[in-house]
């Protein structure tokens, strides 16, 4: 049974706006509490009276409302709602959101919100397929917006194709599944460890062995897991980046420090090893600066660092229910990653090509292939690391819930 949820519905312009009235009826019947914002263009298609009659509450319309001076509407509404739904989402409104414009109550509420935002596109097929619209939609996905539809069908203009708004029942199903999954994850009280960033192995007080990892991808995965209701701890190597406040942050420097922190955090349900851990460390750290002396350099010996992914995957006691590793490769990406998956015995291995600057370390973009232990492969094309992290986190959660494992 879906617990009572609060939804803020923004009614955009377009003939499909009339379908929002049927959506109100379905949501009310299924225990949703509704507040609405009626945009200026939306008012051309539905009336405030019809909205009030179906929701029991007058719609908000203006950014500055002298009738309600005690509250700042764009803040109070965004905090009140569990989710925000824009129905229909026009090409113009999508364009506005993609550039961050906030010139009315609807757009200001969304920019001020800390909740998930669902957009339900509705427009002519050519408008939907236009490169500008598709670019804007991709950017909004990168921001974390969720898109429902559109579907193929006959348009009000008489044309047929993709661009028709999803039906009220399809929209309700998306919302229902979203809340049921979120409630289920919370009820399981799932815990996750994510490792990210580089490690440093010091040769002397000022020199160390490390790599160019920024930790961006791992941080975004930690953020995404936390947003899905997982209690997430991020073990982060030297990095200038920080996760969301909902993520517990533990900072480390060396690979051994990371290993010990991870070991002490067990047991957990999920472990994602995205850190670029130094494979080796010097046998000793000189107390003084290492001089430019060939003999001193020759005397530096190395020892293998503990393998965190291998430890988590093979430990009999407290093994996480799902262990995810990363394979940062520069050649033979898939073949090398498949070999690593078999030797490490993890559940998923995420392969990425770090030889390409546009998707490598320090980039905001990535392109990965998720390989599972049964040989299945899911390729995610070049996109923002934040968007890729969302897909990875959702895949992890869906796998755990589908397996029906014991989470006690």
Q: Which residues contact 323 (CB under 8 A, 6 or more apart)?
A: 271, 273, 309, 312, 313, 346, 347, 348
Report the largest interatomic distance among the alpha carbons of the chain, rounded to a whole angstrom: 87
Show which residues are catalytic.
157
> Could you report how far apart the first and last alpha carbons of the chain are, in Å?
22
List the alpha helices (DSSP H) in 281-384. 294-298, 308-314, 333-344
Contacts of 124 (CB under 8 A, 6+ apart): 155, 157, 159, 163
User: What is the edge-to-edge ordering of all strands in the sheet holding 116-121?
Assistant: 32-38, 5-11, 83-89, 116-121, 146-147
Helix (H, G, I), strand (E, B) or coil at 365: strand
Cα 199 to Cα 262: distance, rounded to the nearest angstrom = 14
Angle, vertex CA 83, rays to CA 188 and CA 147, nearest 5: 100
Evaluate the CA torsion angle 275, 278, 281, 287 in order and state its sign: negative
Q: Kindly state the tokens that stand for 36.
A: 């609405």
Burial class for 346, CB neighbours closer than 10 Å (0-12, 13-18, 19+) = buried
Nearest to 215 by CA among 249, 192, 246, 256: 249
Tokens encoding 255 = 């690979």
Nearest to 32 by CA among 12, 9, 58: 9
H/E/C letters for each residue in 301-325? CEEECCCHHHHHHHCCCCCCCEEEE
Residue 369 to residues 53, 189, 194, 328, Cα–Cα distance (Å): 50, 29, 19, 11
């Amino acid at each position: 049974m879906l617990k009572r949820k609060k939804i803020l519905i923004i009614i955009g312009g377009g003939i499909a706006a009339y379908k929002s009235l049927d959506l109100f009826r379905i949501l009310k019947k299924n225990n949703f509490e509704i507040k609405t914002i009626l945009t200026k263009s939306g008012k051309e298609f539905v009336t405030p009276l019809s909205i009030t009659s179906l929701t029991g509450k007058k719609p908000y319309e203006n950014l500055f409302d002298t009738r309600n001076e005690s509250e700042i509407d764009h803040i109070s509404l965004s905090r009140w709602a569990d989710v925000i739904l824009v129905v229909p989402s026009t090409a113009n409104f999508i364009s506005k959101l993609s550039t961050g414009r906030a010139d009315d109550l609807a757009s200001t509420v969304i920019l001020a919100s800390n909740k998930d935002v669902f957009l339900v596109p509705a427009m002519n097929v050519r408008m939907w397929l236009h490169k500008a619209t598709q670019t804007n939609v991709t950017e909004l996905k990168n921001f974390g917006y969720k898109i429902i539809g559109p579907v193929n069908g006959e348009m009000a203009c008489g044309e047929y194709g993709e661009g028709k708004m999803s039906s009220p029942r399809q929209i309700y199903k998306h919302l229902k599944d979203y809340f049921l999954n979120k409630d289920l994850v919370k009820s399981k009280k799932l815990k996750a460890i994510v490792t990210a960033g580089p490690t440093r192995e010091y040769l002397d007080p000022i020199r160390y062995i490390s790599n160019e990892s920024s930790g961006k991808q791992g941080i975004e995965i930690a953020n995404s897991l936390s947003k899905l209701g997982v209690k997430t701890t991020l073990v982060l190597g030297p990095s200038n980046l920080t996760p969301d406040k909902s993520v517990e942050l533990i900072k480390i420097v060396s690979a051994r420090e990371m290993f010990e922190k991870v070991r002490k955090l067990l047991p957990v349900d999920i472990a994602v090893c995205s850190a670029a851990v130094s494979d080796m460390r010097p046998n000793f750290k000189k107390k003084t600066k290492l001089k430019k002396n060939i003999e001193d350099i020759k005397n530096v010996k190395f020892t293998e660092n503990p393998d965190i992914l291998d430890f988590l995957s093979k430990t009999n006691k407290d093994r996480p229910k799902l262990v995810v590793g990363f394979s940062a490769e520069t050649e033979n990406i898939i073949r090398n990653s498949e070999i690593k998956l078999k030797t490490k015995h993890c559940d998923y291995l995420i392969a990425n090509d770090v030889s390409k600057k546009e998707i490598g370390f320090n980039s905001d973009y990535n392109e990965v292939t998720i390989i599972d232990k049964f040989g299945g492969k899911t390729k995610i094309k070049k996109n923002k690391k934040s968007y890729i992290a969302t897909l990875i986190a959702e895949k992890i959660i869906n796998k755990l819930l589908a397996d029906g494992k014991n989470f006690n």
